Structure 1
């Protein structure tokens, strides 16, 4: 079983993976910190999942841009360029919304396949 969620649901999935017996966690738009408050990091929740974890994060997510995540290798991080917390990309972006969704689904499918799921 893969536990997963988006935003607050991603936090819950990380916190409960062990007690659920999950083999992995899928964290979509993990809220690393409240917008504008990087000092209130929630990295411990992410790092404490204890199972393989995939984080899919928008490049412009105010709850934590990919470069703000800890670089300890306890999870895999996939950036959706220009994406916000909902993975919406602005019309002026180098990729369209359909491409953003494709990158999300491709990353999840590849990762789940590596797990044997």
Structure 2
């Protein structure tokens, strides 16, 4: 059933949902503001983290305040209580299954996919298949710490407009800007993007909320 906003700050139908994916149950929390402007932002967590990370929480709050619906997605391996991430192909398949469920659950006009670290990589790898309009990549892990030769830079070359937000002290590196990929570097921030999460949200919100 398609849902519609209610009469309070966040719609009554907002809440947690568990769905089956090809690799076990995933979970997402969907929040839809009363004055939903038609944009849905879907965010994934880092490899060993959760959707309550400081940067994700700040972006979530800023997006709702701007009329953007937000879904926070927990991958099946984290739902099962594991910290070691599943292989990339499994992460991507589970993510796409969640997006398919969200399309059935909510009417929206513009889809922004993203997340932090591993979640940003998943969003990039699947953006074209998901039909995403924009990508928000928080703390994109350009390479493993100390291994610049193991670059993941090509994952950003999706053809989908992308905003990367990284700290200048990120041990995983900072990708370069290029046509279609804008990189915003926050001084003093590490890979966690947790020192000034409001600055992360401020850097992201206009890109996220664009029509």
TM superposition score category, shorter chain reference: 0.7 to 0.9
TM-score computed with the length of structure 2 as normaliser: 0.46
Cα drift, residue 111 of structure 1: 1.5
TM-score (structure 1 length as normaliser): 0.80
Cα-to-partner distance string for 1:37-80 (whole Å, 9 max, x where unaligned)? 11110000012x22110101011000013xxx234233111111
1:102 to 184, 195, 198: 198
Q: Does 1:52 align with 2:161?
A: yes
Structure of larger gyration radius:
2
Q: Distance in 2 between matches of 1:110 and 1:104?
A: 12
Moved over 3 A (4+): none
Q: What is the rounded CA distance, in whole Å, between the counterparts of 1:54 and 1:64 in structure 2?
A: 16
Which stretch of structure 1 is more off in the superposition, 102-111 or 37-46? 102-111
For residues 159 and 118 of structure 2, what CA distance do their matches in structure 1 show?
18
Who is 1:28 aligned against? Answer: 138
The structure that is strand-richer by fraction is 2
What's the C-alpha RMSD, in Å, of the aligned pairs? 1.3
C-alpha distance in structure 2 between counterparts of 1:82 and 1:21, whole Å:
34
User: Structure 1 unaligned runs (5+)?
Assistant: 89-96
Q: Which string of whole-angstrom CA distances, capped at 9 and with x for unpartnered residues, describes residues 56-105 of structure 1?
A: 1011000013xxx23423311111111111013xxxxxxxx3xx222211
Answer yes or no: is 1:13 the counterpart of 2:123.
yes
